[in-house]
Every structure is written in C-alpha cells, then in structure tokens.
Amino acid sequence: MCASHIEIEVKFHLTDRFGLRARLIAQGATSQGETFETNRRYDDRRGSLLAGQCLLRLRQDQRARLTFKRPRPEGQGEYKVYDEFEVIVEDFERMHRILGAIGFECVQVYEKRRETFRLPNTLICIDQLPFGDFVEIEGPPAAIRSAAAQLQLPWERRILTNYLHIFETLRQTLDLRFHDLTFANFRLAPGNWEEIIHRFEVSAAS
C-alpha cells in the first residue's frame, strides 16, 4: 500500500524527556510503543536529492518502509512542510538492492529510538538521537500549536530543520570524522552538542 500526504510538523529539543512524557500522559495521550529505527538515506552520484532538499529513505523498525519527501513552499518559517510519499516493502535488503540497481546509492545510515503518542489531531513522537532528545509534533497547524501549549513547549524555541541537517552542522563544527548518525559513532564524540543544537531554535535564529 502506498500513501501520500502533506507533512506539517515542528520539533523541540528536550532537556527532560521523562517530564515531557509525563505531561503527555496527563493530557490523555497513550503510548503506541517504542521502536528502534535503522534508516538508510539514498541519493544519486550527483547528490541531486540533497541539493533539492529532498529525502529518499529506507527505514526498518517493526516493518520496512520506503519514503520520499520534498519541501513545499507554503508554511515554511512557521512550520516544516513537506510532501511525503511512503510505501511498505516486504524485504528491506531486496529494496536496498533495487534502489542500487536504478542508480541510487546508500550515502548515509542513521538511527533513533522513537516512542509515539497521539493527542487529538496530532501525532507526537519522542525521539532519542545519538546527540540528544527531541519531540516532533505533526498535524494541522492549529492542532500543533495547541499541543505545544498543552505540553508547555515554548513556541519560539521550535526547530524547523531535520535531524540530518543538525547532525551535519555538529559534524562540521566538531570536526567529527564519521558520516553515519549512529549511537556507536557518537559514543566517544567530543563537544558541547546542546550549544550547537540551540542555534536551530527559531528564537536563536531570529
């Protein structure tokens, strides 16, 4: 089955993941469980997808999914807005080989742990990345603003970029010698990650 929709979301960097989780449950949200994700990002040899701010991703968690995302001009600045096309695939490694056969190389691997919740009209994900904890809120704009307020998340500190862009800034700033965003790679990585992540919050950029 293939699905497509407009993805509207914002992120917030978390300093207290457990406190946010408790506030979610107090608002009546129910956890849909935690998963560990392995993601592979693909591009052609010219890097055309990255240049166009597009993402072609193969994800393995409880199932395998192929996803393509491309930015939409409307809403940008207030929210992160993308077209998203996704299909469930039966065989992760076979899909990897198909992508290679048609000219797309796996150029990056990235990992995260994700716990998913639902509030009215919103999907809320608490994400543990190798460089920190975040929450994503996805849904219609008014519902996103309402959920952020309910969860005591300062709107002016929302983040509108993706995790891979944050990682690339960390990698260049800290002179990290690896390209895959994995927990193993970050285990011994030096530096003040929070100070750099703060640059992506809207208030810090304005």
Q: Profile the chain (206 residues) by mean pLDDT over runs of 10 residues.
A: 79 96 94 96 97 97 96 80 95 97 98 95 96 96 95 96 95 94 90 86 62
Residue 73: the pLDDT is 77
Q: State which amino acid sits at residue 140.
A: P
Residue 1: the pLDDT is 54
How far, rounded to the nearest angstrom, does the alpha carbon of residue 168 sit from its chain's CA centroid?
A: 14
DSSP code at position 15: S
Residue 95: the pLDDT is 97
CA distances from 165 to 151, 159, 161, 171, 186 (A): 25, 11, 7, 10, 16
- Could you tell me the domains of the chain? 2-205 (2.40.320.10)
Closest of 172, 176, 206, 173 to residue 189, by C-alpha: 176
CA distances from 202 to 11, 173, 190, 197 (A): 11, 20, 25, 11
Residue 203: the pLDDT is 64
How far, rounded to the nearest angstrom, does the alpha carbon of residue 140 sit from its chain's CA centroid?
A: 18
Residue 76: the pLDDT is 63
Q: How many residues does the chain have?
A: 206
